[in-house]
Amino acid sequence: MVFIVTRDKMLQSVLAAMLVWPSFSVAQDSANTPLPLPLEEVRMFTEALERIRVSYVEEVDDKTLLENAIKGMLSGLDPHSAYVVESEYDALQETTSGEFGGLGIEVGREDGYIKVISPIDDTPADKAGIQPGDLIIQINDTPTRQIMPEEAANLMRGEPGTSINVTIAREGVEPFELTITREVIAINSVRSRMLEPGYGYFRISQFRANTDQDLENEYEKVSEENQDLKGLVLDLRNNPGGVLQASVGVVDAFISDGRIVSTKGRLEGNDMEFMATSRTIAKDIPLVVLINNGSASASEIVAGALQDHNRAIIMGTRSFGKGSVQSVVPLAEQRAIKLTTSLYFTPNGRSIQAQGIDPDIIVENAFITKRSNSVMQISESNLPNRLDNANTDKQADSGMADALISAEEVLVTDYPLNEALNVLKGINAFSSKNSSLDTDSFAQLKTD
């Protein structure tokens, strides 16, 4: 038995707990061989703790010091492990359940600032006129420079009915302030619409506990209203991830067999494998998945699995590269640690940690502008005494005014989404000219 003399009963208790509790008393190497407790480091820890308590400019209670020590242990491991307390714990529960009091903004980080990815439809942020690409430079009296998106999100959350001031920087205008009243934000993480007849669009903003069921509900609604679906776009751009099981359910909606994802960690219970089931809602319809640098974690699980199974064409730019899985381990009431416990691997065994998913077709973000036709452009139908088309009795309109569009009619749209739609149209055009293609030929077409 080794004894270390300290000058404080609280420090003696801390050290005694470290020596008695099994997880502190020994360390394990890669071969699970017990290693000696680093007593010199333990002595330095207790010495630092005592010096802070005695000498810091202001008195700090022991609870705060010990909680800060836990935070320090976790923050030094990796960017995703953290000590979660009280309001942060509540926010973590809200993130997975999908209902909270706030403004309704998806935020990320760009050049040290909080950037609006998208306001959620019909939320206070949307009604106040906040736009994608806006920078939030101040929340109430707190500048947002160098704070993390999670901290900004916590600042914007609050009791429904309370107000918050946000200062917005938008390209081309002076920074301005908005006063917005918080509301209960009940998020359906999946939104859908038709791009054109036959082509459906599904946007997943974040993977919550019920996202896979939401996707199934949206698909059923779209397919009932559009019997002949020729192609689908699954938009995962700027989706930060979320619940692992939800991402597995989304992949399972598009494939009927095979591995979806596997996880590997130090502990035996962290080695898991998720397999597809035969319950598939959209097995054969051509699918394009959009990703970008803001697509992380669960988004990359979906993109990687569908890519490895040759079930979808992945378009956009390389994803974020977060290939780790965090487990929330409760410690006490409203206190937990979010700890990285395993890495995940795509069906073909790829780890995307710090690498990301490379798209099959690279499409950078851009704007499309529809140019007006030149007044000098003419065709055969505009020529005098032309011969009429033999296939119809209807004559082409010779009015040149129809060739012109006003400045207000200039088309500015989502370039990657437009390209995804064009790819789906190309697949269908190719398939219609090769009628012998069976329902499994999409995968072969993608491979070729």
**Which residues participate in catalysis according to the annotation?**
297, 308, 322
Q: How far, CA to CA in Å, does 10 sit from each of 56, 64, 331? A: 17, 14, 20
Strand partners, 202: 192, 234
What is the dihedral angle through the alpha carbons of 32, 36, 37, 40, rounded to the nearest 10 degrees?
-140
Is residue 310 packed enough to be buried (19+ CB in 10 Å), middle (13-18) or exposed (0-12)? middle
Round the CA-based radius of gyration of the chain to a whole number and report it. 28
- What length does the chain have? 448
Closest by Cα among 108, 352, 363 to 235: 363
Q: Are the CB atoms for 409 and 402 separated by under 8 Å? A: no
As given in the structure block, the two tokens for residue 388 are 């009429």
As given in the structure block, the two tokens for residue 101 are 């009091």
Residue-wise DSSP of 214-263: HHHHHHHHHHHH-SS--EEEEE-TT---B-HHHHHHHHHTT-SSSEEEEE
Q: Are the CB atoms for 338 and 82 separated by under 8 Å? A: yes
First vs last C-alpha separation in the chain: 68
Kindly provide the b/e burial profile for residues 146-164, where b requires at least 16 CB atoms within 10 angstroms of the residue's own CB. ebebbebbbbbbbeeeeeb
Looking up tokens 């990285």 gives 340
Q: Are the CB atoms for 165 and 178 separated by under 8 Å? A: yes
Separation CA 185–CA 105 (nearest Å): 10
